[in-house]
Amino acid sequence: MKKYFIKVLAVAVAVLMASSVQVQAQNLLKGLKDAAKKAVEETVGTTGNSSSSTTTTSSAGSSILNKAASAIPAPKGKTYYVSVSTGSARADGLSPTSAMKDLQKAIDTAEDNDVIYVAEGNYLGNLDRGYIEVGQFGNGQNDRGKFLSFYGGYSTDFSERDVIKHVTKIQPTDQKFIAPLFNINARRPYGYTGPMGTVVVDGFVFDMGENNLYFVKNVNDDVTGTPNDRVLTGRFIEPGSSVSMPTVGYANGDEYGLHMDVEGNVRIANCIFVNCRDYGIQALMGKGHMEVCNNIFIACRYAACQVKGNVKDDDIPEVSLDFHHNTVLFTWTRTKSFEDMGQGFRFMNGIRTINVYNNIFGCNSNCAVERVFYESNKAMEAAKISNLYDNYFFANRRDLELASSGAATISVPAARIDEAEQIGPKFEGNMEMPENEAFINAIDDAYLEGFMGLTIIQSQSYNANSAANQVNRLFGLNQQGSEIVRPSMYCNKYPWEKAKDLFGKVANYGAQMPK
C-alpha cells in the first residue's frame, strides 16, 4: 500500500498599491505538483494495491453519512417520478412508467411530505424558463410554504440510483435565465404551532457557469485574467462593469445555486455547487435543524454556504445547523480587488448551535471560515455555540476570521483555533491538511495552477489636464484619478465534470463517495 503526500503551504495574497507599477502577490503554492511527486512514502501494508484505500474511504464515509441521515425522519406522502428525457408532459408521475417530464409540474402537484425522484438530465423549469420554485414567495401573509424532498441521480427507468453516474443537473444553457434557479420556501404561516415538516435536497449538480459573464480566455492580454491556456475562460466580469474585450456567457441578476427560506428538518446532501455567482447555498432558517453534508462547493463567489437564523419573537431561538463532510474550494471575493466576502462557510447570527466538522477547506480567497458579527441580543450571543473541530485547511488566505467588536477582524490559522474564545466548546482537531497527492490530483490542474500563481496588478494614475479635472477645478471640486486592478485570475469558470472527481478522496474528511 502506498500513501501519497504533498507539501501544502499557507496562502498570503498581499495587494500593494503603487502608481503605474505592477505589483505581484505572493506565489501561493509554487511547485505544488513537483513537491507531491518527490514526497512518496512507502508504508507497511497487506494489500499491495493503493486502490484498496479508495474502498476504505467510501465505506467509512458511507457509514458516517448514513448515521447522520437517519436523524431526518422519512416523509410519509406520495412519491413522484420525473424524467426530462423519458417522461411525459401529461403523465401523473406516480410510477416510474408514468414519469412526469417537468420538475416544476411535479412540485406544483405534490403536497407536504411528498417525495420527488428525479432522473438524470438537465432541469430548467417549466418550458425552460430557467427557474424552479417551491412554495409561494413575495406576498407577505399570503406566502405558502411547501415541505418536499428531492432525490436526484436516478437512471431514466429509476432502476438504479448513482449520483455520479446518473447526473441530475440544474444548469443553464445559453439563454438569459432568471435567477435564482432553485428557490425553496418551506415555512408555516406565522403563529402556526403544528408539527414541523421535512425538506431534503439530495444528489443534484448546481452549475451556474453558463449564466455568468467571463472574458474569452487570452493569455496574451492580462486584462482578461487568463492564468494559462488550459483554463476554460478568462476571469469573471462583475455585474455592471464596462468591457470592450470579447466575452462569453451572461450576467443576469442575483444568482444562487440554492436559495431557501425554510424550517423544520432540512438536509442538503451529495450535491455539487459550482460556478455560483452569488453563494452556493444561501438560506434563512426558522426553528428546527439543518444538515449540510457531503457536498462539494467549488468556484463559488461571495460564500459557499451562508445560513442565517430567521425566527420572530424568540429571544433565544431553537435553531441549529450541522455543516460536515463537505469539500469547499476556490470561494472568490465580491470584487476583483479582493476586498470583501470570499468565505467558505459563515457562522451567521440567529442560529443558536452550529457544528462545523470533518470538512476540507482549501484555496478560499478570503477565508475558509468566518465567525461573523456579534448578536445585538446579548443573551443570544452568550448562549450561542460555535463548534469548529476536526477540519482540514490548506492554501486559504485565512483559515478562520473572527469579528471583533469595535475593531478590525482577527485572522486565526488552523493551529491556533483553540485560542479563539468565540469558538467552542468544541475546537479540537483543526489542522493543515496532511499531504495527499490523490486529492490534489483530483482538482482541475489548470485551475489549481492558476490560483497558486495568482498575481495582482494595481495602479493609480492622475491626469491634471483631463476634461473632468479641468471642469472640477473650475467649480472648486476634488480632482479625479483612475485605478486599475488586474488579477491574473478571478472567479474563472471551473469544469463542472471535474468537480465529481473530488468525492471520496480523503478518508473521513470532505465529501465522501455518495451512497
Q: pTM of the full predicted structure?
A: 0.84
What's the pLDDT at 211?
86
pLDDT of residue 348: 95
Provide the pLDDT confidence category of residue 10 given band limits of 50, 70 and 90.
Answer: very low
Residue-wise pLDDT for 469-489, tens only, equals: 666 667 677 766 555 789 999
pLDDT beyond 70 at 14: no
Neighbouring-strand partners of residue 460: 19, 483
Distances (CA, A) of 43 to 39, 46, 49, 360: 13, 10, 12, 24
Q: What is the pLDDT of residue 452?
A: 95
Alpha-carbon distances, residue 338 vs 25, 333, 449 (angstroms): 12, 5, 19
Helices (H), 26-91: 32-38, 51-69
CATH classification (class only), 51-212+250-450+490-502: mainly beta
CA distance 224 to 444: 20
Collapsed DSSP state (helix, strand, coil) of residue 135: coil
Q: Using CA atoms, how far apart are residues 221 and 283, in angstroms rounded to an integer?
A: 39
Residue 151 CA to residue 148 CA, distance in Å, equals 10
Q: Distance (Å, rounded) from C-alpha 122 to C-alpha 171?
A: 6
* Cell digits of residue 322: 450541522
Highest mean pLDDT among 55-59, 370-374, 508-512: 508-512
| Domains of the chain by residue range | 51-212+250-450+490-502
In this predicted model, what pLDDT tens digit does every residue of 372-403 receive, in sequence order? 878 888 888 899 999 999 999 999 999 999 98
Cα–Cα distance list, 134 to 76, 114, 304, 427 (Å): 18, 12, 22, 37
Greater pLDDT, 286 or 37: 286
Give the strand pairing for 79-82 and 114-119: parallel
